[in-house]
DNA sequence: GTTCTAGAAC
DNA sequence: GTTCTAGAAC
């Protein structure tokens, strides 16, 4: 099976036949799969299943979708966005269970995707997993570079002027998006420039650890306050 | 995606 | 000398 079209194959397969190592969940219109090369601790892809009136080729990428019927595209993206909201809640529950706090989860498309078939990334913003090894991996998710297209931003194009919408829909991936992957490395949280990937990853890990500490302390403070309030309540009724 | 490697950076 | 990147080949 070709790597470039594996997502297309999944999108055309009966979900019951997909292995649990691939499939996380599905609905009548979409599949949520684990990203095989997770760049965040949590990293999923939501794919639209191939169903009329959509054709395989219209669902090839965000670009092909946006260049097709506009109303239909908006409806499909809105549905994917709803699936993503549900998924984000599930991710946050698991974050609390496994890590004791929650952190950011991003939802968006790559401007120049490397695989066929529309796929919406839903990933946690830690970005220093084992699979994060190359500048282009990191830059493809950097929220300030423009390669990663947040779904809310994409949906906002539908409410903009037609000329703007069509300019975004017709953007040349090779000319517009691909050069962004070569930008210098910088921390997306604090903007500090980083000389290479190992340095960046160590820095991101520090940022993450500091965030974990702050967030857990916040949760603990809240818990203590609630405990105190509950105690006062009991005292008052005694 | 991975592996290999030349050359740059340190 | 070692670490790291980036491009080519697969």
> Which nt has its C1' nearest the CA of A137?
B1
Residue A176 has pLDDT above 60, yes or no: yes
Nucleotides on chain B that have an atom closer than 7 A to a protein CB are 1-2, 9-10
Cis peptide before A53 (omega within 30 of 0): yes
Residue A73 has pLDDT above 70, yes or no: yes
**Which neighbouring-strand residues pair with A41?**
none
Other Cβ atoms closer than 10 A to A173 = 15
A114 touches strand C (CB under 7 A): no
> Which nt has its C1' nearest the CA of A197?
C4
> Which nt has its C1' nearest the CA of A200?
C4
Residue A2 has pLDDT above 80, yes or no: no
* All domains in chain A, ordered by first residue: 3-237 (3.30.428.10)
**Which neighbouring-strand residues pair with A106?**
A123
Q: What is the DSSP letter of A222?
A: H
Residue nearest to nucleotide C3 (CA to C1'): A198
Measured CA to CA, the distance from residue A187 to residue A180 in angstroms comes to 15
Measured CA to CA, the distance from residue A209 to residue A56 in angstroms comes to 43
> For residues A137 and A39, is the Cβ–Cβ distance under 8 A?
yes
Query: What's residue A1's pLDDT?
Result: 42
> Which nt has its C1' nearest the CA of A3?
B1
A197 touches strand C (CB under 7 A): yes
The average confidence (pLDDT) of chain A is 94
If you compute the radius of gyration of chain A from its CA atoms, what whole number of angstroms results? 21
Other Cβ atoms closer than 10 A to A34 = 15
A191 touches strand B (CB under 7 A): no
Distance A216 CA to C2 C1' (A): 39
Measured CA to CA, the distance from residue A88 to residue A154 in angstroms comes to 18
**Cα dihedral: A170, A176, A177, A182 (round 10):** 170
Measured CA to CA, the distance from residue A50 to residue A54 in angstroms comes to 7
Residue A123 has pLDDT above 50, yes or no: yes
At A124, the pLDDT band (50, 70, 90 cuts) reads very high
A137 touches strand B (CB under 7 A): yes
Instruction: Give the whole-number percent of chain A exceeding pLDDT 70.
Output: 99
Distance A227 CA to C4 C1' (A): 52
> For residues A61 and A113, is the Cβ–Cβ distance under 8 A?
yes
A196 touches strand C (CB under 7 A): yes
- List the structure tokens of A84: 């993503």
Q: For residue range A31-61, what is the model confidence (pLDDT) as tens digits?
A: 999 999 999 999 999 999 999 999 999 999 9
Query: What's residue A87's pLDDT?
Result: 98
């Amino acid at each position: 099976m070709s790597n470039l079209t594996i997502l297309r194959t999944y999108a055309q397969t009966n979900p019951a036949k997909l292995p649990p190592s691939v499939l996380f969940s599905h609905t009548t219109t979409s599949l949520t799969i684990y990203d095989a090369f997770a760049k965040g601790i949590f990293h999923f892809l939501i794919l639209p299943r191939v169903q009329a009136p959509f054709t395989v080729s219209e669902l090839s990428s965000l670009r092909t979708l946006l260049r097709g019927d506009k109303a239909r595209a908006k409806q499909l993206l809105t549905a994917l966005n709803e699936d993503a909201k549900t998924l984000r809640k599930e991710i946050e529950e698991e974050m609390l269970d496994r890590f004791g706090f929650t952190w950011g989860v991003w939802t968006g498309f790559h401007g120049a995707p490397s695989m066929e078939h529309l796929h919406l990334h839903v990933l946690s913003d830690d970005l220093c997993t084992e699979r994060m090894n190359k500048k282009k991996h990191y830059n493809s998710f950097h929220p300030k570079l423009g390669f990663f297209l947040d779904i809310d931003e994409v949906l906002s194009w539908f409410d903009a002027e037609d000329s703007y919408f069509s300019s975004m829909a017709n953007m040349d991936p090779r000319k517009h998006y691909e050069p962004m992957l070569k930008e210098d490395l910088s921390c997306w949280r604090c903007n500090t420039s980083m000389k290479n990937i190992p340095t960046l990853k160590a820095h991101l890990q520090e940022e993450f650890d500091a965030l974990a500490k702050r967030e857990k302390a916040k949760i603990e403070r809240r818990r203590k306050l609630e405990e105190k309030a509950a105690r006062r309540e009991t005292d008052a009724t005694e």
